[in-house]
Chain A
Amino acid sequence: MSKAQPQTLNDTADSQVVLQLDKLNKIFNAETPLQNHVLHDISLQVRRGELVALVGTSGSGKSTLLNLMGLLDTASSGELRIQGHLTQGMTEQQRTQLRSESIGFVFQFHHLISAFSVLDNVLMPLMLRYGKPSAEQQQYAEYLLNQVGLASFIHQPTNRISGGQQQRVAIARSLVTRPSLVLADEPTGNLDTQAADEVFSLFERFNVEHQCAIVIVTHDPRLSERCPRTIRLTDGHIVYDGASVDLPSLY
């Protein structure tokens, strides 16, 4: 079980590496007639403060890769380290803890919990971990909502605000635990161009201000070009990993 224990940051040579994938494979329905090899030997590193676009056509494995990075799913083989912690062999509880400590999520359809107010949604990751939020935590959540321009909506139910506003709430929520890694799955996918630009600008700003690594899955070439680094997946293989400006256009 020694592998199951979260290891110290010193395990990795470089403490700036937030996310490290080594020959990661994902096979759905393994050893059945429906077997589907979705990801092939994915190896990559994401360092602190990086803003990475993950692009590829539908079915190329982007979301599956993101779920693996976010510990929402487990790989069939290979190694995945988050801040140096080897995640293979961890119990569900250890994975949950690491997820709540280190990772923030933003989903395509914002995925807020409609039974709660805007502020409560932002505080949710903290409340799940620590129970009743402290005054300081509450202030920080309000600060983040102020940063995304929703200061006047904090007590509104989430179904009373627009799609763009909801997505901004989701961004504030992903940052409330001060994660070292934010994973965003097509966060602008269902927004109009202007709202998409605003949301993306927030990612850029928080990337600089909070120095957290951000991996964004997007279909929008305008947005992926604004990320310094792009990773392209095709049929579960990394076909490009480098500066966005050098990416041969496929759109």
Chain B
Amino acid sequence: MSFVSSVGRWRDSLWIEWRIALRFLADNPLQTLLISVAISVGAAVIVFITALMTGLQDNVINRTLGTQAHIRIEATRQHNNFSATADGKYIWALESPRAQRLQTINNWQEVRDVLDQHPALNIVSPLISGPAFAQKGNARASVALMGIDPERYAGIIELEEYLQEGRFSVGASDVLIGRKLAEDLGLRTGDKLRLDAGDNRQTVMDVAGVFELGVRELDSRYVYTDLKQAQTLLNLPGGVTILELKIDDVFSAEYWAQRITQLTGLHVQSWMESNGQLLNALRSQTMTTQMIRVFVALSVAFGIASVLAVSVVQRTREIGILRAMGSTQQQILRVFLLQGGLLGLAGSLLGVMVGYTLVQVFNNIEGRLFLIRLEPSMLLSAIAIATAAGVVAAMVPARRAAKYDPAVAIRYV
């Protein structure tokens, strides 16, 4: 039995219920119109606020993740080892924590190759990052030296797009620096910059370009060069300190971080862990939105329920007649459930259109901060939920109508 034919059969079997429900609604146009408008206002609010919050959060996440990896893999952190003790014996130790010197990820090429093969992990980009001083004349600034593989790194941060002047070139003697650093040291494209990584490892580089990521901390500290140059300066020949990853579903970062930890035993951190505050804010925002939606939906549902409760009283006598004419209690029940569903459907169709219009208006406001996208699936689910809520809301009045004693109902004036 196909779905279409079973829907058709269902509709045929409810033919008279449909007919009565529609007639009852049409018979009291003002009431039907008023409650439909109320439902549509509720549905419009739900659609708009959901779209707005989704848009806002997407925007915040995109901005945050635009300048950082989803997952960072670092070498296992160093810790003190204690010698084994005899069974049943414990050591009380006064421990000084170990200094975390710059260290390479062991066999990082192999780790990279293994992770490369996983379809869910889009980009695996090796990075060597360490502290250095940048110097021009007498001016000095502490910087983070970032040795990158430019092709892979483009998948993490599209540096070329943030480039404000000069050309995208790292390696040999070329570096890219942030806008803030350029201002602090009075540097322009083509100028020379001395980099000092300590222990007499120094070099003079050419500023090939200036970028602006929009994050002050990064713009004042990041100095990009290629892997080889950075490895030499930081005295880690052939090594990298970080593997950066991007994935499709940003919210699965934590899951992948844990899997990679299990796989490699390395120190893995997801953006969700390092941006705990942001995530918290997003979560509480989502919860607030959810609460608003639930309360609006509840008030819509109670609106439907109260209108139908009134309608059941108004139609007491007609219900009695229908029962005397041979309708079953179930038929009466279904007539009112259908009315609830139809009100929910009609109101939400209208509401979704209003919500859609609101979103378009918002998107066309001049100087808007971000664009709201409306997913068709969200509109459909709003309609489906409102219709279902209508049926559920009709439950109480419908049961009451079905339980009417026909002998009493028929005499109701």
Task: Spell out A's residues near B (CB within 8 Å).
Answer: 67, 70, 72-73, 92-93, 96-97, 99-101, 105, 107, 111-116, 124-125, 127-129, 131-132, 173, 177
Contact = CB atoms under 8 A, between A and B. Distances in A.
Nearest to B13: A131
A99 B23 contact: no
Nearest to B324: A105
5 contacts: A73-B407, A92-B329, A96-B327, A115-B318, A125-B326
A72 B324 contact: yes
B94 interface: no
A113 B323 CA distance: 12
Nearest to B332: A128
A127 B324 contact: no
Contact of B407 (A67, A125, A127): A67
Contact of B19 (A100, A127, A177): A127
A21 B405 CA distance: 22
A70 B12 CA distance: 29
Nearest to A72: B407
Contacts of B318: 113-115
B24 interface: yes
Contact of B325 (A115, A124, A131): A124
Interface in B154-212: none
A128 B407 contact: no
Given A67-B407, A113-B318, A115-B23, A93 B325 contact: no
Contact of B410 (A107, A127, A128): A107
B406 interface: yes
Sorting the interface of chain B by its residue count into under 10, 10 to 19, 20 to 34 or 35 or more gives 20 to 34
B281 interface: no
B327 A72 contact: no
A131 B331 CA distance: 11
Contact of A99 (B317, B320, B326, B405): B326
B87 interface: no
10 closest Cβ pairs, A-B complex = A100-B326, A115-B27, A115-B23, A72-B407, A131-B15, A73-B407, A67-B407, A128-B327, A125-B325, A127-B16
B144 to A, nearest CB: 77
A59 to B, nearest CB: 14
B321 interface: yes
Given A107-B410, A115-B24, A115-B27, A96 B326 contact: yes
Contacts of A113: 318, 321-322
Interface in B385-413: 405-407, 410
A177 B326 contact: yes
Given A96-B328, A111-B410, A116-B23, A128 B322 contact: yes
Contacts of B20: 115
B26 interface: yes
Given A127-B19, A128-B16, A132-B12, A72 B410 contact: yes
Given A115-B318, A127-B16, A128-B326, 19 more contacts: A67-B407, A72-B406, A73-B407, A92-B328, A96-B326, A105-B325, A107-B321, A107-B324, A111-B324, A112-B321, A113-B322, A114-B27, A115-B23, A125-B325, A125-B326, A128-B322, A131-B12, A131-B16, A132-B15
